[in-house]
Amino acid sequence: MRAKYLIIPLILLVNSALAACLDINIPKHECRYPSGDKWCKKKFQKEKPFAYLSKCHSLPRQKENTSFDIKSYYGKNRSQGNEEFLQKFPYKKYLQKVSFINFKILQKHRNYLNIKKGIGG
């Protein structure tokens, strides 16, 4: 009986964390989630202040200039071994630039690192 009551807050917590923060505002977009803007502004300041439902399949595209330059990062750190490269990778900065639901860019970067360093595959 107790477990049943513990599951409800967990579901609410998970659902409230399913917002994608982007740098463009399309007020009438079907996935726009204005009540999540406050959270996005707190988390990303001015970079990505507009919330959208991350479950949505038709999210608008982010502006290209917000993407993480994986080639430049690799060029500056190519001499590192794989383990050191992964340990020092700026994951927080990366996820501020690339949305965790931007599968096209994530896959492109993963493939690039797989070819260059044999990691991410």
Give residue 8's pLDDT band: very low, low, confident or very high (50, 70, 90). very low
Whole-number mean pLDDT of the chain?
A: 77
Rg, C-alpha atoms of the chain:
17
Same structural domain for residues 49 and 74? no
Query: What does the pLDDT average to over 81-105?
Result: 83
Residue 86 lies in a domain: yes
Burial class (CB in 10 A: 0-12, 13-18, 19+), 84: exposed
With 60 as the cut, is the pLDDT of residue 37 above it? yes
Same structural domain for residues 34 and 11? yes
With 50 as the cut, is the pLDDT of residue 10 above it? no
Report the DSSP beta bridge partners of residue 21.
51
Domain count, the chain: 2
Give residue 76's pLDDT band: very low, low, confident or very high (50, 70, 90). very high
Residue 89 belongs to domain spanning = 67-117
The predicted pLDDT at position 63 comes to 57
Residue 75 lies in a domain: yes
